[in-house]
A and B are shown apart, each in its own frame.
Chain A
Amino acid sequence: METYLSKEVFSQISPSEFFYRNRDLAGFSNPTRSLYTSVREFVENALDACDHRKILPDIHLSIKAVNPEQADPKHYILTVKDNGPGIDPEHIPLAFGTVLYGSKFGLKQARGMFGLGATMAILYGQITTNKPVTVKSCSDGKSLDEFVMLLDIQKNKPVIQKHTTKEGSKTGLTVSIVLEGDYSKAGSKIRDYVYQTSLITPYASITFEDPSGEKFHYARIVKDMPRPPTVIKPHPHGIDVETIRRMITDTHYQIPTIDNKMIDKVKKELSLKKNLSPKEILERAQKRWSDISKPVRTVISVMSFLNIDFEGLQKIRIDDIDVANKTITYWDFGESQSHAVELSPESPYYKQLASTVQGDTLLTFLTKRFQRVGPTTAEKFCEFAKFKPDKRIGSMTNEELVKLADALQKFEEFLAPDPSCLAPLGEEPLSKGIMKFFNPEFAAVWQRNASAYSGFPFVVEMGIAYGGDIPPNGLKVYRFANRIPLLYDEGSDVVLKIVNETEWTRYKIKGDPPLVIVSHICSTRIPYKTVGKENVADRPELERELKNALQYLARKLAVHMSRQGAADMAKKRANLYSKYVPLIAQFATELAGKKKEPNYNQLIRMGSEIEEQV
């Protein structure tokens, strides 16, 4: 769902309305699930933040009841503290006080998708308890900023209730919300989540303090962090119409978002100190036209057509620039209504807006915006798709966009997706984690080579552990995707399907074995079956990789089992013959009427050595 969110959706409904419409999908359907989801969102944000800056994560999670005497569901204080890079104080209000602020629009492997979840949790907390969110951040190692904020749901703007700055010493971020939750029901899932997160993040130290004050501490097992994922451009096969539309409007050539930050930028580039009239602003801009940046030029052009100053600009939102019909449409917050203004082609600013909106040529768009597409491939593609290479992408009609997206899917000469954006955990850390967590008698891990489905690269890594401290309760599967444990909807998951289809007796595994399987799928887009993101769909490419990994590991286990089996059998034989042969000798001696026992040592030795008879 989040993948397809676009600005258009948000311009039509308020964020709180959006939240209500999507709370089930986002995992906030009831107090139990909401508490669990909130924990996940904050912990995953914290881990992501540390990963990006290559900081060994140190995460503290605590859940405290506001009034412990009360029965569930009740209000809880959820606090997550990390040692990550922190957030600049100036960004904090926007990052935590508005819906849809975030930087995760690039294509790389990350735990969360858009950073939306944390805001959803804050919003959920505010709606259920009317309590503010507290954010403490230190990003420079010197000062610690604390914000207490509410979210103005109508305006989608933060309302800062308190902001203090103190001396700080370590970077990091602490987020604390009050929310309605049900720990009595969510507790076991949250503990599982923390446990499994620690397993797949062996380079992190994670502490969880539950409402009763009990502490669950998972120490760091490995000190090396896996290589962080890099941001890469999308692969043409992994693109649909909606994504192309977003890429086009999301380019440098789009109409810039006109917020306070942008207005500051315009003022700065024009060296404006005081408020000027629209006319004076345009005069200033014309003098410096060659020095100012493209987005600023666009803003100036818009101002010229609408004939407004900065104050006016803050009260509106540009909805559409329709070059074909030569109109610009905007929404006036003050009047709460939409206006359309005609664009005069004679105006010198018309060309600026037109080229901004029409954007790059298709050829440039393909080579610049997609991975592994060079000019030659791009030209071949244009021929294949029957587009002119110099066609401006901004001028494409809906039909043309559909045709383009379709052709991108069908063209077979694109190179395979680049897996460099993936960050699997790696065999060694995975293996160490498994050894530490399960202390098994046998363990093996395997990381498969990168593969791809529909333009999305993915890597499967898997571990198997047998015996030792693992209880003989039957096979247990730990599923992970992009270093997130998947705890719900186990039954319909592709990994479970593969495991259940395996004939374990062929690998000498019977009954309720003390067996653990750890499966980790890394991808820029995990093919989740449902929006709840708890079960992975059975894409054939993914299924094949999982099957190969599991078979490889199962064969290794089978070798171990037969070695173990043979050793056990020999031991059992030796024990049996040592026990019974002397007895037989004793009985036979008396039966035969002899005094001295026969020499049976040779027979005990032989009994221990002979092969099992079939």
Chain B
Amino acid sequence: MKNKSSAKTAETRKKRLLSMLEQQGLSIYENLDKGKFPQFVIPSRSVSNIVYDKKIRQYILGSANAVRSSRNMSQLRSYTQLAWLAFFVNRLVREGKSSTLRDIYYSSQAFSIDFEDQPESDNIIVDLEAVLTSPREEFHIFPEERSSVFGDLTIEYTVPGYEGKRMNLSDHPDGYLIGPSLSSAELVDTSAELVIAIEKGGLFTRFVEEKVHKKFKAIIVDTAGQAPRSTRNLLRRLNTEMGLPVVILADGDVYGEHIAMVIKSGSANAAHLRELTVPDAKWLGVWATDIEKYKLPTIPMTESDIKRIYDLQKDPRYQEGNWKKQLEVFLKLKRKAELEAFSKYGLTNITDKYLPAKLEESKSF
């Protein structure tokens, strides 16, 4: 059993966030009182300001900042929207309430804040993430899509009404939604020695049925395609707080490879955020080279698959090692294989043969 070393991490993060919000509030308040126009300084998210940091192995924002000032009439509206969001997030976090992107868009109307459409409110949420360098999940704002987790992990809720209540995530075979309460929960302890992130819900269920969590002493996470931030955050916490290595299984195509990369080192879209990456995560497969090695049935790549390969070849993270090599092999094969391809050799082939082989292989990356 691994016990968490640092106490009450979720609580610390909450306090840090509330303090930042209060600072922003005080600054605006004082400006108004003095007859000065308050403003927000927002790190610029323009393409020219997104750079790849090799040291921390993720995309980050450069030093350019944009100022949103209430003095500028054309920015007054979006300034007010941002101030409102800070105010609303402050309420959410203090009262331990959760919201979704869509819910934020609708909630604004009660405060005479007029968003044209949800993309506009989504953008303001990203602005606030940049101002506070915190992901929206810390603001208790979640996307609609959910992914799941299963395995021997004990958590302790911090959401109101459940404070202190503990729960083991291996009690329910369908797995547990990675939602607001799980995201804000403290990770207490686990017997697992490994986290397996898998791209597809179907295989997640298969893994549970095949008792992969027991056979491999693993916590299984369904990323449901490209992993949502709350999922990436959970993976990171399992890695950093619980000290568990993370491995990733995705489809044998260029998108699968990139799902693994985003878990490992983030996306350009979230360059303003930290703590969403697992730099030591390992991509188990399915590699392009596995397609030949395991004689997997394949389907031909589409035009957009191929275009995607060329795009990724320009990404600094794909310039060396296995990442680079697999892209090249994919491009050579011009064919792809899904995780389900292993079914050709029996439903349990993937858990009985492929997974152990790859885990063994991964020890040497």
Hey, which bits of chain A sit against chain B, CB under 8 A? 572-573, 576-577, 579-581, 583-594, 598-600, 602-603, 606-607, 610, 612-613
Assess the A576–B79 pair: CB atoms within 8 A: no
Assess the B90–A590 pair: CB atoms within 8 A: yes
Assess the A591–B76 pair: CB atoms within 8 A: no
Chain A, interface SS category:
helix
B249 sits at the interface (CB 8 A): no
Assess the A603–B77 pair: CB atoms within 8 A: no
Assess the B28–A591 pair: CB atoms within 8 A: yes
**Cα distance, A591 to B139, chains bound together (Å):** 14
B2 CB → nearest A CB, Å: 39
B90 CB → nearest A CB, Å: 5
Residues in chain B near residue A599, CB distance under 8 A: 32-33
Contact with A along B87-112 (1 / 0, CB 8 A): 10011000000000000000000011
Assess the A598–B32 pair: CB atoms within 8 A: yes
Assess the B83–A588 pair: CB atoms within 8 A: yes
Contact with A along B1-45 (1 / 0, CB 8 A): 000000000000000000001101110111011011110000000
Given the interface pairs A583-B111, A583-B113, A598-B32, the reply to whether A592 lies near B25 with Cβ below 8 Å is yes
Given the interface pairs A588-B28, A591-B24, A591-B90, the reply to whether A577 lies near B33 with Cβ below 8 Å is no
Question: Given known contacts A576-B76, A591-B26, A592-B29, what 10 new A-B pairs fall within 8 Å (CB)?
Answer: A577-B76, A579-B112, A580-B70, A583-B83, A588-B83, A590-B90, A591-B29, A593-B25, A603-B37, A603-B70
Contact of A600 among B32, B73, B90, B113 (CB under 8 A): B32
Residues in chain B near residue A588, CB distance under 8 A: 25, 28-29, 32, 38, 83, 87
Residues in chain B near residue A576, CB distance under 8 A: 73, 76-77
**Cα distance, A576 to B73, chains bound together (Å):** 8
B344 sits at the interface (CB 8 A): no
**Cα distance, A573 to B71, chains bound together (Å):** 11
Residues in chain B near residue A585, CB distance under 8 A: 29, 32
What are 30 contact pairs spanning A and B, CB under 8 A?
Answer: A572-B73, A573-B73, A576-B76, A576-B77, A580-B76, A583-B83, A583-B84, A583-B113, A584-B83, A585-B32, A587-B28, A588-B25, A588-B32, A588-B83, A591-B22, A591-B24, A591-B26, A591-B86, A591-B87, A592-B26, A592-B29, A598-B32, A602-B35, A603-B32, A603-B37, A603-B70, A607-B37, A607-B71, A610-B71, A613-B71
**Cα distance, A589 to B33, chains bound together (Å):** 11
Assess the A587–B83 pair: CB atoms within 8 A: yes
Total residue contacts A-B, CB cutoff 8 A: 94
**Cα distance, A342 to B70, chains bound together (Å):** 105
Residues in chain A near residue B21, CB distance under 8 A: 591
Residues in chain B near residue A587, CB distance under 8 A: 25, 28, 83-84, 86-87
Residues in chain A near residue B83, CB distance under 8 A: 583-584, 587-588, 591
B178 CB → nearest A CB, Å: 29
Given the interface pairs A583-B84, A584-B38, the reply to whether A589 lies near B29 with Cβ below 8 Å is yes
Residues 68-82 of B contacting A (Cβ, < 8 Å): 70-73, 76-77, 79-80
Assess the B35–A592 pair: CB atoms within 8 A: no
Contact of A593 among B22, B28, B35, B70 (CB under 8 A): B22
**Cα distance, A594 to B72, chains bound together (Å):** 26
B16 CB → nearest A CB, Å: 15
**Cα distance, A602 to B35, chains bound together (Å):** 6
**Cα distance, A592 to B86, chains bound together (Å):** 11
B112 CB → nearest A CB, Å: 6
**Chain B: CB-nearest residue to A573:** B73
Residues in chain B near residue A590, CB distance under 8 A: 25, 87, 90-91
Assess the B22–A584 pair: CB atoms within 8 A: no
Assess the A584–B70 pair: CB atoms within 8 A: yes
A3 CB → nearest B CB, Å: 61
Residues in chain A near residue B33, CB distance under 8 A: 598-600
**Chain A: CB-nearest residue to B33:** A598
Assess the A584–B25 pair: CB atoms within 8 A: no
Residues in chain A near residue B70, CB distance under 8 A: 580-581, 584, 603, 607
**Chain A: CB-nearest residue to B80:** A580
Name, among B26, B86, B87, the residue most crowded by chain A CB atoms within 10 Å (CB to CB): B87
Residues in chain B near residue A607, CB distance under 8 A: 37, 70-71, 73, 76
Residues in chain B near residue A586, CB distance under 8 A: 87
**Chain B: CB-nearest residue to A584:** B83
Residues in chain A near residue B29, CB distance under 8 A: 585, 588-589, 591-592, 594, 598
Given the interface pairs A590-B25, A590-B87, the reply to whether A580 lies near B32 with Cβ below 8 Å is no
Closest 3 CB pairs of A and B: A591-B25, A592-B25, A587-B87
**Cα distance, A587 to B84, chains bound together (Å):** 6
B77 CB → nearest A CB, Å: 7
**Cα distance, A588 to B26, chains bound together (Å):** 7
Residues in chain B near residue A593, CB distance under 8 A: 22, 25
Assess the B35–A613 pair: CB atoms within 8 A: no
A139 CB → nearest B CB, Å: 71
